[in-house]
Amino acid sequence: MAGSAGRRNILRELGQLANGSGIHSPLQEASPISPDETVIQQRGLRRKSPTYNYDAPDPVFFKTPTKSPKKSRFLTPTKTTPVRSSPRKRPNGTPDKMRFSEAGISEISLTSKCYKKSPLKNVKPGLQLEKGLKALSHNQLVELIADSINCNPEIEGVINKMLPVPDLAPAEERLHKLKQNVFRSYPRNVWGSQDSSFCFMRIKTHLEAFKKDCLEMCQLYMDSEHWPTAFEFIFAAWKYTSELPDWDYTYHNRIKSVCMKHLAAQCITALKKANLDKPALAEIIERMQEYASESAVKPCIAFAVKLMEEMV
């Protein structure tokens, strides 16, 4: 019995381990726990914080909050302050004081306004006259010369001696460019004749531009009363106008005919005011014969021949 009492009771030790007693067997101490087993044990041993409210629902099962509709930036903002319903106090001042205060308010408003700034001025003292004249317009140059003559009448004689013949090259170049724009505006692929209404509508704008610039330049030379230059421009304008295209319909040729008739009327006016001698008049008649086929030029030739007959 003593030997049996000294022996280890293995069944008793296993029972104590199952009941959770503090007795540890040497086999348990000898076998270490693997890392995977510790992870598995920690998963089951997770505990919630002591302040956790068990009555509240779990946030995992919350619904996704709905988005509030975006407010339009063009809407009128709501008024947060209450509307003032209490009566306002009226000023107890006299009418004189009221007028004075109104005048003071008007003065304050006038002083607060921004006045128009003066244009910038050239502060450079050594400005050359030739370079300064290049920036002036045609009307400014005419006014400058007229004012200079009024200040010193002797300048008029000097300018008359030095006055050059007007240059018609820029005017002819302008007319040539306008005529080119007319022909360049023709459509490339046309189903039918090039004198049709479809082609006319494509180049009508350029025809109007030609007529406008031509008549304006003619009026400019007529106002200058430099009659030789006026005749030269009229002949050049007849040349470029006669080269414009003709159309099937008479209405489409109206722009060209108006331009020719206006130039002819200016030519008759120049013949009346120029006081030409017989050789100069004969030269003009000879040059007008080049455009005798134009119906608008025939009255000019007849008027010039009549002046020639009166000189005999």
According to the model, what pLDDT value does residue 222 have?
94
User: CA-CA distance, 27 to 285, in Å (whole number)?
Assistant: 144
CA-based radius of gyration for the chain = 54
73: which DSSP letter? T
Token pair for residue 208? 């109007």
CB 307 within 8 A of CB 271: yes
- Those residues whose C-beta lies under 8 Å from the C-beta of residue 15, and which sit 6 or more positions away, are none
User: What is the dihedral angle through the alpha carbons of 101, 102, 103, 105, rounded to the nearest 10 degrees?
Assistant: 90
User: CA-CA distance, 55 to 60, in Å (whole number)?
Assistant: 14
User: CA-CA distance, 271 to 282, in Å (whole number)?
Assistant: 12
Write the pLDDT tens digit of every residue in 31-81: 677 888 877 777 755 555 666 565 665 555 555 666 665 655 555 656 565
295: which DSSP letter? T
User: CA-CA distance, 221 to 231, in Å (whole number)?
Assistant: 9
Burial of 195 (0-12, 13-18, 19+ CB in 10 A): middle
Q: Where are the alpha helices (DSSP H) in the chain?
A: 2-6, 10-19, 26-30, 35-44, 95-112, 129-134, 138-151, 154-162, 169-184, 197-224, 227-242, 254-274, 278-288, 298-311
CA distances from 65 to 62, 68 (A): 9, 9
Phi-psi region of 83 (alpha: psi -120 to 50; beta: other; left: phi over 0): beta
According to the model, what pLDDT value does residue 78 have?
62
pLDDT per residue, tens digit, the chain (312 aa), is 445 545 556 666 666 665 555 455 555 555 677 888 877 777 755 555 666 565 665 555 555 666 665 655 555 656 565 555 566 666 565 555 555 455 555 555 555 555 566 665 655 556 678 888 888 888 898 898 889 889 888 888 888 888 888 899 999 999 999 999 998 887 776 655 666 777 888 889 999 999 999 999 999 999 999 999 999 999 999 999 999 988 888 888 899 999 999 999 999 999 999 989 999 999 999 999 999 999 999 999 999 999 999 886
Taken in order of first residue, the domains within the chain and their CATH numbers are 130-161 (no CATH), 168-311 (1.20.58.1590)
According to the model, what pLDDT value does residue 232 have?
95
What pTM, to 2 d.p., does this model score?
A: 0.57
According to the model, what pLDDT value does residue 246 have?
86
Phi, psi for residue 190 in degrees, rounded to 5 = -125, 130
The count of other CB atoms within 10 Å of the CB of residue 78 is 5
CA distances from 230 to 163, 224, 272, 284 (A): 16, 8, 13, 12
User: CA-CA distance, 275 to 285, in Å (whole number)?
Assistant: 15
According to the model, what pLDDT value does residue 152 have?
87
